[in-house]
Amino acid sequence: MMLSSSNRWTTLLLDKLPLILLILIALFLPLLFSEYYLLLTGYILIAALLAQSFNLMFGFMGKLSFGHAGYFGIGAYTVALIATNTKIPLLFSIPAAIIVTGIIATIIGFFCVRRSGYYFAILTMAFSQLLFVIVYKWYGFTHGDDGIHAIPVPTFLDSSVAQYYFNLVLIGIAMAILWKITFSPFGYILRCMRDNPVRTEFNGIKLTRYQLIAFVIAALFAGFAGAIFTIFNRAVTPGIMDWTRSADPVIMTVIGGQFSFFGPLIGAVIFLFLQSYILGYTIFWPIIIGSILVIVVLFLPEGVTGLYQKILKAIKQKHQDKTKSELNKY
């Protein structure tokens, strides 16, 4: 391929351009936009991490979990309960949330990974609903339907700009770790299991063990996202872990693109932006996102990132054809 070095840079840049743009905007957000967008982006970051952790199992391992919100909720409630009942500082309650989520996910995951396809989806949904019902009904411990409010937060987070950067840094680190995991040999084994489980097993890899590890990792990040959420939101309600909330990361991932690492992030941006914009005009958001979901599932199976890749490829192809035809003149 006669790609000159400048061509190579252009290709690389175009490929990563949306991502670079997003990162720049994210870094300088407080200077560019009002407080409303700071808050919105905070939620987007949290949702994006949740969706990306979900996609570790979905896009890269091929198993659709319909119960991811449960682990988000566990992480969120752990921080909430620690903050309102003890004097333990934030520094320790976040790791605690991760550990608690991990333990619960290991137990649940042990049973779930033995099934696949629809059965896996329903099983994860059932367990997550179980967690939801326990949180909802155990009024004495979790305040049930009322939720936990006015969660005390360290004073350095009082300013929304500080809170924003706190979110950005923590979630950025989490995504970086997730990136490392996704593109590590372990991550590639997950892709093997997705593409050809039989052959993977023949290579001596015990499917259930690796899938359990991936399941727990995904849940850990979900719990972490939940912990950040509690700190950001200053309140939690059981509604964040209902099974319909488990559908949100699925929708975001499908819209953004399940086979790309940043697909879920893009999906989260689109989803939450659209939602906040449309809810400003009408309450009929579900029909709009439902219709978008139908269109994406039927016509954009690889999501927005897939579409972008296809466009890039078409442009590259046209450019190569042009170069070839020009060269053939001589």
Partner 1 sequence: MEDLVSLIFAQFLSGLTRSMVLFLVASGLSLIFGVLSVLNFAHGTLYMLGAFVCFQFWNALMNVGVGFWISVILAAIVIGLLGFIIEITLIRRTYTGLQLGHTQQLLLTYALTLIAMDVVRLVWGGRFYSIPRPDIFSGSVSALGVQFPSYQLFVIFFGFIIYFGLWLLLFRTKLGCIIRAAVFSRDMVAALGIPIKWIYTLVFIIGAFLAGLAGGIAAPLGTISVGMDHSILIECFAVVIIGGVGNVTGTLLGALIVGLVHAFGILVLPQLTIAFIFLILAIVLIVRPSGLLGVEV
Binding site for partner 1 (CB under 8 A): 62, 64, 66, 111, 114-115, 117-119, 121-123, 125-127, 129-130, 133-134, 137, 243-244, 247, 250-251, 254, 283-287, 289-291, 293-294, 297-298, 301
Q: What is the Cα–Cα distance from 314 to 318, expressed in whole angstroms?
A: 6
- Say which residue the tokens 């978008």 belong to: 292
Q: What is the Cα–Cα distance from 134 to 31, expressed in whole angstroms?
A: 43
Which residue's CB is nearer to partner 1, number 61 or number 171?
61
The C-alpha angle with vertex 206 and arms to 202 and 211, in degrees rounded to 5, equals 125
Nearest approach, Cβ of residue 83 and partner 1 (Å): 26
DSSP annotation string for 82-107 = HHHH----HHHHHHHHHHHHHHHHHH
Nearest approach, Cβ of residue 267 and partner 1 (Å): 13
Q: What is the Cα–Cα distance from 8 to 322, expressed in whole angstroms?
A: 16
Nearest approach, Cβ of residue 100 and partner 1 (Å): 19
Q: What is the Cα–Cα distance from 263 to 254, expressed in whole angstroms?
A: 8
Cβ-contact 255, 270 below 8 angstroms:
yes
Cβ-contact 223, 92 below 8 angstroms:
no
Q: What is the Cα–Cα distance from 300 to 52, expressed in whole angstroms?
A: 19
Which residue's CB is nearer to partner 1, number 61 or number 151?
61
Residue 113: HSE in the Cβ half-sphere, 13 Å Cα cutoff: 25
Which residue's CB is nearer to partner 1, number 35 or number 195?
195
- Say which residue the tokens 């052959």 belong to: 199
Which residue's CB is nearer to partner 1, number 82 or number 254?
254
Nearest approach, Cβ of residue 66 and partner 1 (Å): 8
Q: What is the Cα–Cα distance from 238 to 133, expressed in whole angstroms?
A: 8
The DSSP call for residue 238 is: G
Cβ-contact 27, 324 below 8 angstroms:
no
The C-alpha angle with vertex 302 and arms to 297 and 303, in degrees rounded to 5, equals 70
Q: What is the Cα–Cα distance from 72 to 229, expressed in whole angstroms?
A: 9
Nearest approach, Cβ of residue 67 and partner 1 (Å): 11
Nearest approach, Cβ of residue 170 and partner 1 (Å): 30
Residue 168 buriedness (CB in 10 A; 0-12 / 13-18 / 19+): middle
Which residue's CB is nearer to partner 1, number 114 or number 316?
114
Which residue's CB is nearer to partner 1, number 64 or number 189?
64
Nearest approach, Cβ of residue 85 and partner 1 (Å): 22
Which residue's CB is nearer to partner 1, number 129 or number 163?
129
Nearest approach, Cβ of residue 135 and partner 1 (Å): 11
The phi and psi torsions of 14 (rounded to 5 degrees) equal -60, -40
Which residue's CB is nearer to partner 1, number 2 or number 283?
283
Which residue's CB is nearer to partner 1, number 185 or number 280?
280
Nearest approach, Cβ of residue 153 and partner 1 (Å): 31
